[in-house]
Amino acid sequence: MNEPTTRSETIIGIDLGTTNSEVAVFRDGRAVVIADENRRKILPSFAGIGDDGAVLVGEAAKNQYPLYPERTVRSIKRKMGSDERVELAGKSYTPQEISAIILRRLKSIAEQHLGESVNKAVITVPAYFNDAQRQATREAGRIAGLEVARIINEPTAAALSYEAAHHGRKHILVYDLGGGTFDVSVVRIEDEVVEVLASHGNNHLGGDDFDQKIVDHLLRHLQEKEKVDAKVSRQAMARIGRAAEAAKITLSDQPFAMIEEEYLLENQGRPVHLSVELAREDYEAMIEPYIRETLEAVHIALKGAELTVADIDEILLVGGATRTPLVEQRLEREFKRQPRGEVDPDLCVAMGASIQAAMVAGQDVASVLVDITPYTFGTSAVGEIDGVPTLHRFVPIIHKNTPIPVTKSEVFYTMLDHQKAVDVKIYQGEDPDAQHNVLLGRFLVEGLSKAPAGNPIVMRLFLDLDGVLNVSAKEKKAGLEKSITIDNALRRYAEEELEVARARIGALFEDEEETIEAAPAEALEEGEEAQSQHAVVQARALVEKAERMLPEATPEDREDMVDLIETLKDAMDAGDNAAMKKSVEALSDILYYLES
Ligand code: AMP
């Protein structure tokens, strides 16, 4: 029996990272990462001394780093196990002591949350850490008042966070791209035994290098456009650094990032503002050589484990920088399987450490539960399937197994000069042919500005925990936007139900299916007839939405809505386009007001 007889002693799990650290505890069958009093689960691995001589840890120390590097220490993990000492506000410290400052803070975050004192921890270290480095980590724990119950490898912890309840044998590739380090490990998990077969990596490669590429790009822009060298101002460089990281994170979910820093610095008495837009495509070209380097390391690790790509059963994504879509894409291309990232890549090592801690304490450990979408959501576009041109190429936007809530955007381009409208269809499914997936909804963005082909339209999908999918499409240039909300997007369809659903949704559009499907999905230059059919589709969708929203409207709005729904239905039946347009506008206004 694994059930604890008395309430077992709490052992916390700690991921003591180069850039960030986290603390987790296993409670009620779940690994939970503990947040601090500001609801932050991630503690930057920075320690410092503030203006008033007080010790600063985490965010506060990170914030002062660009201005007071002599009073701040970062990336101390790189020095663990060495005799090197670091200077902090004029005093010298061992790496163990600095790490202990971070560990003390994590211990106190756990104690505040649990309401009890905590004296034991499982701490993770990279698989390549030698004895001296592991010993130094133990010592750091002791200095912080923590008995280190176990030191475990980070890839082992990551594998545990996914596979704690696994039976049988599996080979897992753990791809860990953090802020400043990259590690890849091949792990074998067999019943309860997790073994690292081989590891490889680069101690100086990570998301910070991606930031640096953006920083260089911004500096070049300032030099060329404003004839100014921002490097002369430490403060300006700190702002550029922060803006670059923020843009990088935006580009993980959106096709463009706007970088704006007003009054960045002065040039000959004149203020210099920074305002640059960065496209994901251009950013990806900047970081591509880094990703290629990580893939070379993956192959070295595989060779070390005497395995091939085909032997790998799972790829696990660890480290914040694996949220970069290009990472997932390249791994998928290499391994012909989708990497798993459903356990938060920033938190899974700490979660795995807490699972190990629970095992040490004799608790019963089940698999870890996370909220993810089991489906892929996307749209259709002109493209190719197996080399054959098609109008219905499925373009995934939110991939299955993504943790929710999630927001993702993609950019699409109009195909024709002066294209007036875009027909947006939203599908759920995995088939490259959108027609074989389930059509969840559809809407038309009309009145686009007069632009040559290639006018960018940004589509944004937001899926919340209740399975409500909100879709919007926006003409980037003019800001014209349309959106719909799809309830129940996460309803689980059985195979046979899929057929029924496809037929049902298909029937909704039966009249116009032929004419509309014949036009390119993204490239509509329609005749009048097709336009009026679209207007009917739009009106029908609006009526449905209005009916759904009736219960939440005030009595006066409800009365107006009911009247407008009636008038709209009459206009649709009579084929009176002008009347339809008028009611659609009035009803849209009320719905817009209700939603905002
Ligand atoms: P870690 O050391 O695992 O905490 O990873 C930190 C790195 O992940 C930093 O370089 C972050 O800027 C980066 N990161 C965090 N979130 C994202 C994101 N959404 N997209 C890309 N990089 C991210």
Mean pLDDT in consecutive groups of 10 residues from the start of the chain, 596 residues: 55 96 91 95 96 93 89 94 91 92 96 96 91 89 92 92 78 94 90 83 92 98 96 90 96 96 93 96 98 96 94 95 96 95 93 93 62 80 86 90 80 88 90 89 88 90 82 88 79 49 51 33 38 63 77 80 87 82 78 61
CA-nearest residue, atom 19 of ligand 1: 249
Whether residues 481 and 406 fall in one domain: yes
Whether residues 477 and 385 fall in one domain: yes
Q: How far apart are CA 95 and CA 83, in angstroms?
A: 8
Q: Which of 486, 515, 545 is a domain's end point?
A: 486
Q: How far apart are CA 205 and CA 328, in angstroms?
A: 17
* DSSP secondary structure letter of residue 509: T
* DSSP secondary structure letter of residue 428: E
Q: How far apart are CA 6 and CA 8, in angstroms?
A: 6
Q: Is residue 513 part of a domain?
A: no
Task: From the CA of 206, give the closest atom in ligand 1.
Answer: 10
Interval 502-557: pLDDT, tens: 455 555 554 433 332 323 333 333 344 445 555 666 677 678 778 877 877 778 78
Task: From the CA of 19, give the closest atom in ligand 1.
Answer: 2
Q: How far apart are CA 175 and CA 320, in angstroms?
A: 11
Which residues does 256 contact at the CB level (< 8 Å), separation at least 6?
A: 277, 278, 279, 280, 411, 458, 476
Whether residues 436 and 536 fall in one domain: no
Whether residues 409 and 476 fall in one domain: yes
3-state secondary structure 200-269: EEECCCCHHHHHHHHHHHHHHHHHHHHCCCHHHCHHHHHHHHHHHHHHHHHHHHCCEEEEEEEEEEEECC
Whether residues 475 and 381 fall in one domain: yes
Going through 9-67 in order, the beta strands assigned E by DSSP cover: 11-16, 20-27, 30-33, 43-44, 46-49, 55-57
Q: Please name the amino acid found at residue 506.
A: G
Q: Where are the alpha helices (DSSP H) in 307-409?
A: 325-335, 348-360
Report the DSSP beta bridge partners of residue 317: 175
Ligand 1 centre to CA of 382 (Å) is 33
- Number of domains comprising the chain: 2
Ligand 1 centre to CA of 331 (Å) is 18
Task: From the CA of 207, give the closest atom in ligand 1.
Answer: 10
Predicted structure pTM score: 0.68
Both tokens of 519, joined, read 């036009």
Q: Is residue 318 part of a domain?
A: no
Task: Note down the domain range covering 392.
Answer: 377-486
Q: Is residue 232 part of a domain?
A: no
pLDDT value at residue 538: 64
Q: How far apart are CA 364 and CA 79, in angstroms?
A: 37
Residue from 46, 181, 245, 278 whose mutation best tests the ligand 1 pocket (most atoms within 8 A of CB): 245
Pocket of ligand 1 (CB under 6 A): 17, 19-20, 178-179, 206-208, 245, 248-249, 252, 319-321, 323-324, 346
CATH of the domain at 549: 1.20.1270
Ligand 1 centre to CA of 244 (Å) is 12
Name which of 145, 203, 186, 157 is nearest 19 in CA terms.
Answer: 203
Q: Which of 486, 501, 516 is a domain's end point?
A: 486
Whether residues 478 and 552 fall in one domain: no
Whether residues 464 and 555 fall in one domain: no
Q: Is residue 289 part of a domain?
A: no
Cβ atoms within 10 Å of 456's Cβ, excluding its own: 16
Helix (H, G, I), strand (E, B) or coil at 424: strand
Q: Which of 453, 469, 486 is a domain's end point?
A: 486
Q: Is residue 138 part of a domain?
A: no
- Residues marked active site are found at 15, 77, 154, 176
Q: Is residue 473 part of a domain?
A: yes
CATH of the domain at 439: 2.60.34.10
Interval 95-114: pLDDT, tens: 999 999 999 999 999 999 99
Whether residues 422 and 471 fall in one domain: yes
CA-nearest residue, atom 23 of ligand 1: 321
Q: Is residue 535 part of a domain?
A: yes
Whether residues 384 and 478 fall in one domain: yes
Residue from 317, 346, 351 whose mutation best tests the ligand 1 pocket (most atoms within 8 A of CB): 346
Both tokens of 119, joined, read 């004296």
Q: Is residue 413 part of a domain?
A: yes
